[in-house]
């Protein structure tokens, strides 16, 4: 009993949460009822019954006037009148024929008289007509109300003002006076310097206005997610102690037509009223997408209206109004060029991922709020987190605090931070994901192939850890490498080649030692192919094109996300394909030779992996060294000039990933 009641409640909630679905279901029910009561207009159930009972042999469509003529001639014996049709049964010789005519809209009392005169049996179908008329009258009204209610709900969710609140911006515009200061932002010093002068504009607008200086209107903060763009914008407002109005571009596109534009209007109205002030538009690409590169779906209209309103507002206030619009995006290349024109977002500030010093500074900021043990070495953490953004670092500290808390520790220890880093990099261990024994064997050999090539190849990065425990992101196994800080921005050709060899190691190992190849290497091969293509077309590192650069990034002049412009002929394209394939083939052959030569070492490595699932880099090196000694080979270990920071017994540094299925970054 109680269960039933609960079910009902659930249903109610379900429909409340899904008004569109509820509406759709209701409509279907109504339409079905409609069909059942009315039948199909011609040849439906009623007609068939009538026909069958009389042994009708054919049906003819005729005009109303013809029916009358047929009645006059005495052919018709029986008539049924529905609101829309007249069905007449007649006899021609011994054939029974059914005539169907559309009824004329005007009433025709003469017809009934004529039927009476000729003694034709007639009847009308009123009930059905009534229902159908009622439904056809009520359905549009019902649909109208359903849409109204649906709209009203959407609005009130967003606006807090019911349907009449359209245009009142309400809650979606956040207004605050942040306490954030520049000291809370670290690792983005150049960006900080660039926005510092804005603070002065906001603090002393009169000075600049008196001098006739034009206060900048819009600044675009460009950078990957979590690098502190929002934080920086808040810090500008905090330093100048002015109000901070913020919206997110993506919240506009969920709105109904016209709402986005009116919200933009309200946003500027409020900001101007409380000027000097800051407007912050997060994810501006959601509304500012180039009008030509619009998505395939609807909603474009809304975006365009919103964008136009934004442009109009920015043009609308003079350079003497101390309102500054800060906007953030990680995809500057998709922005409509109109947004970047003079007087709009004509300043762009890069907010990039922090380097070592920056990471250390960010870690220090965020560890102020937690209890760290004295033995914690933040330098080591900063070293181990190359490639992460500020938000990731903040998360790592928090995650470490949670880990320590779970173990009932009084302070966060280095091991908690290291564990948190590992989680940040490769996602939580998914021990519950079962892979079968064959898969395990394949992954072991695959990863051993990567690891061996990484250790034997000059210019590759040494292995930190090899694992066949499936992690998030669809990776069945992974080989961790420790990146060199100095090498983050420039790569030499031999390093790119080394990367290719390491990538091919997985596939080659499967082919040699498993005797078959799997889909697991797809991502590796894709990456290897991409590297070779870039070497040829972008970096001038091949004979095919020499120094000629064949592809360049278009759109945003910053970051590397732009679309590529291919600046070469069909013939060159073919030559590139041939060159890519031949280089891939050449490297693959070399990698296979190397793996075959070190076959015993691979077997050993894969065996240990199957056993313990995770091995450290030093173990990999140990296995290779042992093998070389046993066979009196000169050592090919490529990284022995660098001290082995890992001692096998001690828990190792874990570091940046080389998971087998990580797209992007």
Catalytic residues: 447
CB atoms within 10 A of CB 549: 13
Place of tokens 């206030």: 317
| Phi–psi pair at 282, nearest 5 degrees | -80, 155
Interacting positions 253-282 with ligand ADP (CB under 6 A): none
- State which residue, 89 or 185, has the beta carbon closest to ligand ADP: 185
Pairing mode of beta strands 58-61, 95-102: parallel
Binding partner of residue 306 among Zn ion, ligand ADP, none, CB under 5 to 8 Å per kind? none
CB of residue 541 to ligand ADP, shortest distance in Å: 34
Tokens of 57: 């042999």
Binding partner of residue 524 among Zn ion, ligand ADP, none, CB under 5 to 8 Å per kind? Zn ion
**C-beta separation of 416 from 396 below 8 A:** no
- State which residue, 111 or 345, has the beta carbon closest to ligand ADP: 345
Binding partner of residue 419 among ligand ADP, Zn ion, none, CB under 5 to 8 Å per kind? none
CB atoms within 10 A of CB 148: 11
Binding partner of residue 266 among Zn ion, ligand ADP, none, CB under 5 to 8 Å per kind? none
CB of residue 416 to ligand ADP, shortest distance in Å: 19
- State which residue, 249 or 506, has the beta carbon closest to Zn ion: 506
Burial 21-38 (b: 16+ CB within 10 A, else e): ebbeeeeeeeeeeeeeeb
CB atoms within 10 A of CB 112: 15
CB of residue 248 to ligand ADP, shortest distance in Å: 10
Cβ-closest residue to Zn ion? 506
Q: Which helix (H) or strand (E) holds 334?
A: none
CB of residue 327 to ligand ADP, shortest distance in Å: 11
Residues 50, 54, 56, CA angle at the centre, nearest 5°? 90
CA distance 659 to 661: 6
CB of residue 282 to ligand ADP, shortest distance in Å: 6
Q: 86, 85, 95: which is closest to 120 by C-alpha?
A: 86
Binding partner of residue 660 among Zn ion, ligand ADP, none, CB under 5 to 8 Å per kind? Zn ion
CB of residue 185 to ligand ADP, shortest distance in Å: 5
- State which residue, 101 or 186, has the beta carbon closest to ligand ADP: 186
Q: What is the DSSP string of 234-264?
A: HHHHHHHT--EEEEEHHHHTTSPTTHHHHHH
CA distance 520 to 439: 10
* Options 185, 349, 376, 480; binder of ligand ADP; rule CB under 6 A: 185
Interacting positions 377-436 with ligand ADP (CB under 6 A): 390-391, 394
**C-beta separation of 573 from 580 below 8 A:** no
Distances (CA, A) of 199 to 161, 186, 194, 196, 348: 35, 17, 10, 5, 16
- State which residue, 280 or 627, has the beta carbon closest to ligand ADP: 280
Binding partner of residue 662 among Zn ion, ligand ADP, none, CB under 5 to 8 Å per kind? none
Binding partner of residue 454 among Zn ion, ligand ADP, none, CB under 5 to 8 Å per kind? none
Is residue 282 at the binding interface for Zn ion, with CB under 5 A as the rule?
no
Is residue 660 at the binding interface for Zn ion, with CB under 5 A as the rule?
yes
Is residue 188 at the binding interface for ligand ADP, with CB under 6 A as the rule?
yes
Is residue 229 at the binding interface for ligand ADP, with CB under 6 A as the rule?
yes
Q: What is the DSSP string of 107-164?
A: --HHHHHHHHHHT-EEEE--HHHHHHHHHHHHHHHHHHHHHHHHHHHHHHHHHSS-GG
* Options 39, 158, 226, 260; binder of ligand ADP; rule CB under 6 A: 226
Is residue 238 at the binding interface for ligand ADP, with CB under 6 A as the rule?
no
**C-beta separation of 461 from 657 below 8 A:** no
CA distance 576 to 561: 22
Interacting positions 501-540 with Zn ion (CB under 5 A): 506, 524
CB of residue 226 to ligand ADP, shortest distance in Å: 5
- State which residue, 395 or 518, has the beta carbon closest to Zn ion: 518
Pairing mode of beta strands 614-616, 277-282: unpaired
Binding partner of residue 506 among Zn ion, ligand ADP, none, CB under 5 to 8 Å per kind? Zn ion
CA distance 189 to 411: 31
* Options 155, 166, 328, 498; binder of ligand ADP; rule CB under 6 A: 328
- State which residue, 232 or 528, has the beta carbon closest to ligand ADP: 232
Cβ-closest residue to ligand ADP? 390
Binding partner of residue 186 among ligand ADP, Zn ion, none, CB under 5 to 8 Å per kind? ligand ADP
- State which residue, 309 or 655, has the beta carbon closest to Zn ion: 655
Residues at the interface with Zn ion (CB under 5 A): 506, 524, 660
Chain residues binding ligand ADP by CB under 6 A are: 185-188, 225-231, 328, 362, 365, 390-391, 394
């Amino acid at each position: 009993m109680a269960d039933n009641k609960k079910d009902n409640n659930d249903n109610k909630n379900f429909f409340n949460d899904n008004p569109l679905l509820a509406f759709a279901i209701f409509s279907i029910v109504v339409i079905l009822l409609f069909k059942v009561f009315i039948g199909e207009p011609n040849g439906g159930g009623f007609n068939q019954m009538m026909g069958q009972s009389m042994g009708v042999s054919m049906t003819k469509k005729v005009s109303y006037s013809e029916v009358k003529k047929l009645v006059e001639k005495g052919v018709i014996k029986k008539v049924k009148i529905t609101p829309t049709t007249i069905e007449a049964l007649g006899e021609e010789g011994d054939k029974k024929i059914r005539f169907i005519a559309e009824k004329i809209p005007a009433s025709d009392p003469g017809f009934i008289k004529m039927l009476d005169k000729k003694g034709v049996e007639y009847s009308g179908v009123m009930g059905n007509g009534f229902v159908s008329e009622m439904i056809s009258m009520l359905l549009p009204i019902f649909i109208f109300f359903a849409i109204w209610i649906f709209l009203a709900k959407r609005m009130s969710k967003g606006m807090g003002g019911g349907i009449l609140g359209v245009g009142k911006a309400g809650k979606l515009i956040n207004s605050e006076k942040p306490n954030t200061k520049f000291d809370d932002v670290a690792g983005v010093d150049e960006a900080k310097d660039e926005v510092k002068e804005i603070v002065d504009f906001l603090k002393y607008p009169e000075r600049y206005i008196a001098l006739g200086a034009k206060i900048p209107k819009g600044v675009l903060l460009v950078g990957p997610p979590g690098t502190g763009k929002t934080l920086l914008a808040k810090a500008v407002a905090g330093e100048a102690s002015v109000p901070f109005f913020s919206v997110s571009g993506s919240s506009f596109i969920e709105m109904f037509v016209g709402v986005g534009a009116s919200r933009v209007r309200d946003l500027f109205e409020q900001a101007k009223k409380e000027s000097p002030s800051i407007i912050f538009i997060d994810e501006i690409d959601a509304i500012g997408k180039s009008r030509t590169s619009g998505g395939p779906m609807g909603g474009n209209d809304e975006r365009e209206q919103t964008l136009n309103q934004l442009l109009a507002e920015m043009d609308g206030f003079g350079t003497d109004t101390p309102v500054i619009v800060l906007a953030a995006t990680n995809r500057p290349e998709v922005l409509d060029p109109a947004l970047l024109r003079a007087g709009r977002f004509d300043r762009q500030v890069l907010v990039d991922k922090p380097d070592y010093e920056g990471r250390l500074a960010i870690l220090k900021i965020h560890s102020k709020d937690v209890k760290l043990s004295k033995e914690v070495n933040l330098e080591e953490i900063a070293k181990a987190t190359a490639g992460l953004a500020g938000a990731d670092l903040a998360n790592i500290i928090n995650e470490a605090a949670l880990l320590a808390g779970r173990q009932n520790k009084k302070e966060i220890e280095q091991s908690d931070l290291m564990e948190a880093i590992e989680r940040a990099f490769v996602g939580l261990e998914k021990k519950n994901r079962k892979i079968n024994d064959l898969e395990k064997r394949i992954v072991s050999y695959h990863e051993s192939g990567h690891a061996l090539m990484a250790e034997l190849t000059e210019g590759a990065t040494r292995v930190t850890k090899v694992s066949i425990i499936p992690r998030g992101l669809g990776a069945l196994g992974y080989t961790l490498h420790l990146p060199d800080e100095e090498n983050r921005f420039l790569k030499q050709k031999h390093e790119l080649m080394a990367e290719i060899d390491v990538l091919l190691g997985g596939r080659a190992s499967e082919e040699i030692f498993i005797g078959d190849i799997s889909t697991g290497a797809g991502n590796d091969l894709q990456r290897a192919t991409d590297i070779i293509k870039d070497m040829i077309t972008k970096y001038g590192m091949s004979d095919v094109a020499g120094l000629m650069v064949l592809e360049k990034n278009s759109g945003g002049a910053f970051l590397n996300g732009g679309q590529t412009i291919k600046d070469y002929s069909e013939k060159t394209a073919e030559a590139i394909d041939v060159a890519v394939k031949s280089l891939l083939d050449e490297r693959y052959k070399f990698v296979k030779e190397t793996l075959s030569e070190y076959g015993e070492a691979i077997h050993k490595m894969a065996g240990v992996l199957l056993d313990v699932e995770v091995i450290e880099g030093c173990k990999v090196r140990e296995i290779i060294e042992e093998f070389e000694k046993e066979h009196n080979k000169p050592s090919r270990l490529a990284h022995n000039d660098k001290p082995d920071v890992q001692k096998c017994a001690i828990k190792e540094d874990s570091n940046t990933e080389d998971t087998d299925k990580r797209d992007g970054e």
